[in-house]
Amino acid sequence: MENQTKPIEIPNLGGLITTGDLYKKGRFTYSAWAKTAQRIRENAPNWFFALEPDPSGQLVWMAPNNTGYLMGCFVNVITGVKLPLFPYAITDNFNKAIDYKDINANHIQNSQRRHLCACACFSFGDAFELWADVEVKDLDQPKEELPEREGVSHTPEKPDEKPDENYLLPKEINPDAKELIVRDLRNSPFKDQILKEFKSHFKLQVKEVTPANITLSEHGRFLRLIMERLKEKS
């Protein structure tokens, strides 16, 4: 039983949004994408939103009616866990899907930010109140105390509120995450390039990347990002 795979822990961000996170545009209420990113960083550490390229390597996918859409998901850069993909149509200011041939860089940028918000609701329940028409907590209401999480520092809400003074100190890597990274590193065909970048980034004098060198969460995060980048380029 000791070798059983541990269940994936997916953060639940439901109920965190407050009226201070919202803004009005016309008849509708929105949460700014930057506020969404802040909630994710504070309450779902190591989870990052990523766009999935289509089979030809393009970020914009083509729908059957020749309009465009994005595919994205959240990925844990420490464990490598990838949540289910979520589609998002690229639309104009009137919420009408744009023809594939007319999509430009600005459309992609704006849609990616909106996609982040929609996918955060789909994956983590973030700001579900806006989608389900549930009343959002008032900013002045007493806030529920959230349990302390290792490696997470909450953004100060007042100018004179100071974060945990130890939040910048290096954190030890999770043993399970380390095991996954070591396994993937062992099977990687890019060991020489990974070693070169690892040594350069952390100013180390080592002949290979071994488990003994991977002691901090930052080591794991860096190695995971390198392996994903090299894999995409191959």
One-letter amino acid of 208? E
Q: Given a cut of 50, is residue 167 above it in pLDDT?
A: no
pLDDT digits (tens, 9 = 90+) for 1-19: 455 556 778 999 988 888 8
Instruction: Delimit the domains of the chain by residue range.
Output: 19-132, 175-233
pLDDT at residue 148, as a whole number: 55
165, 154 contact by CB (below 8 A) = no
For residue 21, how far is the Cα from the chain centroid?
A: 19
Burial class (CB in 10 A: 0-12, 13-18, 19+), 79: buried
Nearest-5° Cα angle at 45, 119 to 200: 115
Q: Given a cut of 60, is residue 151 above it in pLDDT?
A: no
pLDDT at residue 4, as a whole number: 53
Q: Cα–Cα distance between 74 and 52 in angstroms, integer? A: 10
Q: Hey, is 79 helix, strand or coil? A: coil
pLDDT at residue 181, as a whole number: 83
Q: Cα–Cα distance between 18 and 34 in angstroms, integer? A: 14
Only one residue has tokens 């998002």, namely: 88
Structure pTM? 0.58
Burial class (CB in 10 A: 0-12, 13-18, 19+), 170: exposed
pLDDT at residue 175, as a whole number: 76
Average pLDDT over residues 209-217: 86
pLDDT digits (tens, 9 = 90+) for 76-131: 998 889 999 999 999 988 889 999 999 999 999 999 999 999 999 999 999 888 87
pLDDT at residue 6, as a whole number: 64
